[in-house]
Amino acid sequence: MVELKEITEENFIDAFNLKLAPGQEEFVSHPIRSLAQAYVYRNQCRPFGIYAEGKMVGYVMVIYDYDIPEYDIWHMMIDKDCQGHGYGKEALDRVLEYIKTKPFGDSGRVVLTCNKNNPVARKMYEDKGFVATGNEDEDEIELAMTVK
């Protein structure tokens, strides 16, 4: 079973040690960059370690955009040595459960972006109910869904 644990001073080094598989650097930012963003947006953001069997296997960040309003999923990644075990799918389920609690504001809209050259991630998101919005920025496409 996969669980999310907030990134704190006790586990942030574990997040720094996560590695992407070769070629995946174009798809997602490293957790070091994400945690810097989480600090800047700390009043509307929550970074999580993705854990399986007590070990951090990935990272994801949830941010609330008060201007729209909507929840955004940023920088989700699974360590190169832990990919292919379904951790990403389970983590996405946990993230959506967290968003349903509306921790920052009352919105059911959830948005993320996916690199056009990452069909594996796009399929996972679409299988969970995300739909392309038609918005694109360079090599990223936007996908969205509504949760209750």
Domain span at residue 35 reads 2-146
* Domain at 22, CATH number: 3.40.630.30
Q: What pLDDT, on the 0 to 100 scale, is given for residue 79? A: 96
**DSSP code string of 33-72:** HHHHHHHHTTTSEEEEEEEETTEEEEEEEEEEETTTTEEE
Domain count, the chain: 1
Tens-digit pLDDT profile for residues 23-48? 787 788 878 888 899 999 999 999 99
